Chain A
Amino acid sequence: MTDATAQDKIAGPTPDTAIRDAERADGPMLAADGRPLKKSLASALRRQKIRALLLIAPLLIFIMFTFIIPIGQMLFRSVENQIVSETLPRTVAALDGYDSESGPPSGEVFAALTRDMVVAAELKNHTRLGSRLNYETTGLSSLFRQAGRGVDDIGEDYTDAFVDANEAWEEGETWVRLLANEGWIVASDEWAAREEAAGRGFDELPPRFVFADGVEEALPRTTEMYADFAAVLRTEDGDSPVDEEPWNIVYLSLYEDLAANPDAPAAFEGAEAELLAEAAEIAAGLEPFDYTAAFEEIDEDWLGEDVWGTIDAFSSDYTAGYFAASADRKLTPDGIQPVDEDQRVYGTLFLRTMLMSLGITVSCIALGYPVAWLLANLPLRTANVLMILVLLPFWTSLLVRTSAWKVLLQQQGVINDILVWLGLVSDSNRLIMINNQFGTIVAMTHILLPFMILPLYSVMKTIPPSYLRAAKSLGATNWTAFWRVYFPQSVPGIGAGSILVFILAIGYYITPEIVGGTKGVFISNRIAYHISTSLNWGLAAALGTILLALVLVLYWLYDRIVGIDNVKLGG
């Protein structure tokens, strides 16, 4: 600052004057545009941050929408369990406080189950629920299928009794006049007229059913069932209840309403009151219905503890059941219990997946390191030719490479044939190299080796060979020079290669499926099985979530130990 003391010739602040101002230590340090430096720096930093985020934003949005959210929804299935409470809402409510140790639940619960099952069977939801619960307790699938067929007939005797007394009960119209609101009847007529006029291709839904005033108080059970009946008819068939005879369970409900409250007809007027009064008389002569016995007749297993314990344990909207199953545990009414020893498989598979992926990673390092070193130290033109050999396997599909390994490794395969031909192995003692862990490790190592070599190569390329020479000229032996000078500099490449290979290995399932036999398959094979064959997507999602969590933990550890910025891959 030679002219620090000279008079300023320039108006306005210059870097010099700014610093001098700062040295005077009166006001804040100013930037070239006269704003305080601190502020100016902060805004520059903010601009930089915004620019960086703007550059990242398109990709981040792309990945969020096309990947994170869909996958998140998929993984969320691991706790979702609304199917039970949505299919059997009344049963779940009635089961509140039930203890499966005390035997089958009360008749009330079976009554609720009957009503739920009638609706579910109409919507064909009962079999879906049966398959869901069959994952937990064997046999529930067919139990629900049978019950779906059987519940239609429950209450048939009561239907017959009412219809025998007065044929009007058979007509949908009778019921509509009895229960529906005037306004709804008008709307329904208009809808029917439109339907007739439009003919084919008419797809307007009939108006939503509305009860007349006071009916719901007088006949609570009947109206509840009738509402479901009308709703199912409307959404499933696009029909109005006017021309349909209600389900048997509606008649049974009417009987129960009239039996419980013989004064109900008083709430009606005119012909409807007469009809109902007549019905109340018939009802008085009928026996109450035994729901428990009806289910016992469908299948006596319905009275079993297993069934009700399972329904009770899985009645909540969200369940830990799938995660319990992923850990070889089982959600029972008494809490989480280990499953039978002969069904435990996931613990073994997780452990095996981890160990074998580790084995594959280690063998990739062992095979990849020398090759990468050679490539990095050869003249470029030789290295590039050899690089073609590294890249070639990439161009042969994974499926082809796996099949080729099968041809090479099997007992009648190329390697065994050569060994036998040379007389090194006798024909009856051919080596078993496939359908076991060895086969999986060889094939996967081969498939993933380029993912190790390329990052290693790009890192080694940046290590000047002069470092090694310098170390040696300072008296280091070959080993010391390598171990103390070269190797530490190549660690980021090993890190990047390892994390790539390990993560990719964990997720592969096609190769282990083909060459793994029984002891070489991975947890991903089970995930694939549950997605595509058993349809147990909840369990697949739980297994996937655990796998993902394991990978994230490893990723975090890696970041702590090596630093993710040190990952180098190619280039």
Chain B
Amino acid sequence: MTAATTEPVTSRGESNLLGFSLPLVALLGAFLGFIAGNAAGWPLIGAIAGVVVGAGVTYLAGTSLREKRATGRWAVIGVCALLGLLVGGLGGLVGGAIVGAILGWVAYWLVRGDYRKGVPPYATAGQVLWHNAFLFICGLIFFFLIAPIMVVIPLSFNAEAFFTFTPEMLALDPEGYSLRHYRDFFSNSDWQLAMRNSLIIAPFATIIAVSLGTLAAIGLSQSHVPGRQAIMAILISPMIVPLIISATGMFFFYSAMGNWLEDNLGFSRELTGYIKVILAHAALGIPFVIITVTATLVGFDRSLTRASANLGAGPVKTFFSVQMPLILPGVISGGLFAFITSFDEVVVVLFVGAAAQKTLPWQMFIGLREQISPTILAVATILVTFSIILLTTVELLRRRSERLRGMSPG
């Protein structure tokens, strides 16, 4: 290892790390202080204050408060928040607290050598730098992924009927916030109907897409299927035809089918309405199931089914006891895509559905078009909260079953 001679990295003594960390944190402090000061109008003073605070916290973290991380961090947050409050009022308090939190975290992270945790001890300085830069980039990408949600959640508590951060909201004035959009969602029968319809249509469409799709994917994965490429192209076509064309084209078929169902089988108009939308959404979700499940089956070991057959299991038992558990992850993620396709689809349902089948996206679409209403954001926030709870529960259950099965946590 060429960089084994680089001094601050190889020797991990306290004093050396302090010497390495101090200027870095001071520099960071100067930068953050400059920006914060700039906002208040005194960039230079801000930078100097930043250097002082940064150097101070690093020194303390490396010496007397080394083992009391929480105390040290809270102290620096407090100091910075106080500075911010003096300069910029309530907004300054929040900004200062954020700056303090960053400085405190970085100081301890550097001075205690935590930045090397993810890499092997023999890694070079360059590798350590790259590793941390990589994590930083990934963090930014995750931030990019959830940034819109972070905007949506506060706006859903807006007291006004616009998608705008009002001055009251920015000043954290309670008058700028209200629950009126949540009240609207829970009291408005249109939203309730839309929610109910979405919760009826999406699961049924998913079940149809997943069951037919999985069956066909198993068929497609057999070794000798005549016209395989063409069949594959046909099956994934709902994904590649522009939605608006699909919507109009499907309208004709489903109208004819609806008429037939009503005339010959005596179905009510409402029931046929649901059947039409469910089938249309199932067709749109199928490509996702096909692609995921065939991909899982590519890596499937065929000798397992043969072994099962050898041991006397019929094809059905083989499928459910041997094949299904193994391809389940693919089926689940295909199902997830299919569910989302139905749950978030607005173009086709506008054509195929009638007003009695309006789904959440439909209601949102007319909400955005006719009269901007942050109720849409309230709905989104509720769905996000719901899905966080759901996904967290699933993850906790997974960990529990892992523990019960005596597996080491992966």
A residues bordering B, Cβ < 8 Å? Answer: 45, 48-49, 51-60, 62-75, 367, 370-371, 374, 379-381, 384-401, 403-408, 414, 417, 421-424, 446, 449, 454-455, 458, 462, 478, 496, 500, 503-504, 506-507, 509-510, 524, 527-528, 531-532, 537, 540-541, 544, 547-548, 551-552, 555, 559, 564-571
Contact = CB atoms under 8 A, between A and B. Distances in A.
Interface in B355-396: 360-361, 364-365, 368, 376-377, 379-380, 383-384, 386-388, 391-392, 395
Top 4 nearest A-B pairs by Cβ distance? A55-B219, A571-B330, A570-B333, A74-B249
Nearest to B242: A507
B195 interface: no
B383 A395 contact: yes
A565 to B, nearest CB: 6
A567 B294 CA distance: 9
A404 B152 contact: yes
B9 to A, nearest CB: 17
B410 A379 contact: yes
B246 A67 contact: yes
Interface stretch (B12-20, B77-85, B101-109, B208-216): B208-216
Nearest to A570: B333
Given A392-B384, A569-B295, A67 B237 contact: yes
Nearest to A504: B239
B392 A388 contact: yes
B377 A367 contact: no
A376 B156 CA distance: 34
B220 interface: yes
B240 A70 contact: no
A75 to B, nearest CB: 7
Nearest to B245: A544
Interface of B: 35, 38-39, 43, 127, 130, 134-135, 137-138, 141-142, 144-149, 151-152, 155, 163-165, 212-213, 215-216, 218-220, 222-226, 229, 231-235, 237-246, 248-250, 252-254, 279-280, 282-283, 286, 288, 290-296, 298-299, 327, 329-334, 336-337, 340, 344, 346-347, 360-361, 364-365, 368, 376-377, 379-380, 383-384, 386-388, 391-392, 395, 398-399, 409-410
Given A49-B224, A393-B149, 10 more contacts: A49-B222, A51-B219, A52-B222, A381-B409, A397-B379, A399-B376, A414-B165, A509-B244, A524-B242, A568-B298
Given A388-B391, A527-B242, A552-B240, A64 B234 contact: yes
Given A66-B253, A74-B248, A569 B333 contact: yes
A221 B216 CA distance: 62
Q: Which of B135, B250, B295 has the most CB of A within 10 A?
A: B295
A547 B392 CA distance: 41
Contacts of B295: 455, 458, 496, 567-571
B387 A395 contact: yes
Q: Which of A388, A454, A500, A547 has the most CB of B within 10 A?
A: A388
Nearest to B409: A381
Interface of B, secondary structure class, is helix
B132 to A, nearest CB: 13
B244 A392 contact: no
Contact of B388 (A52, A70, A392, A531): A392
A470 to B, nearest CB: 15
B175 to A, nearest CB: 20
Contacts of B152: 396, 400, 404
B231 A56 contact: yes
A422 B149 contact: no
A403 B156 CA distance: 12
B368 A58 contact: no
Given A391-B387, A401-B148, A552-B240, A570 B165 contact: no
B90 to A, nearest CB: 14
Contact of B145 (A423, A446, A527): A446
A137 B329 CA distance: 57
A424 B34 CA distance: 11
Nearest to A566: B298
Given A392-B149, A423-B39, A569-B292, A60 B253 contact: no
Contact of B291 (A53, A524, A569): A569
A370 B145 contact: no
Interface of A, secondary structure class, is helix
A379 B407 CA distance: 14
Contacts of A70: 249-250, 252-253
A380 B410 contact: yes
B311 to A, nearest CB: 20
Nearest to B331: A571
Contacts of B290: 59
B240 A397 contact: no
A388 B144 contact: no
A500 to B, nearest CB: 8
B155 A407 contact: yes
Contacts of A421: 39
A48 B231 contact: no
B119 to A, nearest CB: 11
B346 A527 contact: no
A70 B238 CA distance: 11
A435 to B, nearest CB: 16
Nearest to B36: A422
18 contacts: A49-B225, A54-B219, A59-B290, A71-B245, A388-B388, A392-B149, A393-B145, A397-B379, A399-B365, A404-B149, A407-B151, A504-B239, A527-B242, A540-B244, A544-B244, A544-B245, A567-B291, A571-B293
A401 B360 CA distance: 14
Contacts of B294: 565, 567
Nearest to A383: B410
A74 to B, nearest CB: 3
Nearest to A524: B242
A396 B387 CA distance: 10
Contacts of A531: 244-245, 248
A63 B237 contact: yes
Contact of B216 (A59, A386, A389, A462): A59
B388 A66 contact: no
Nearest to B221: A52
Contacts of A566: 298
A397 B360 CA distance: 9
A52 B387 contact: no
B16 to A, nearest CB: 26
Contact of B240 (A390, A407, A496, A555): A555
A371 B141 CA distance: 7
Given A66-B283, A422-B39, A548 B241 contact: yes
A389 B234 contact: no
Nearest to B395: A384
A63 B39 CA distance: 60
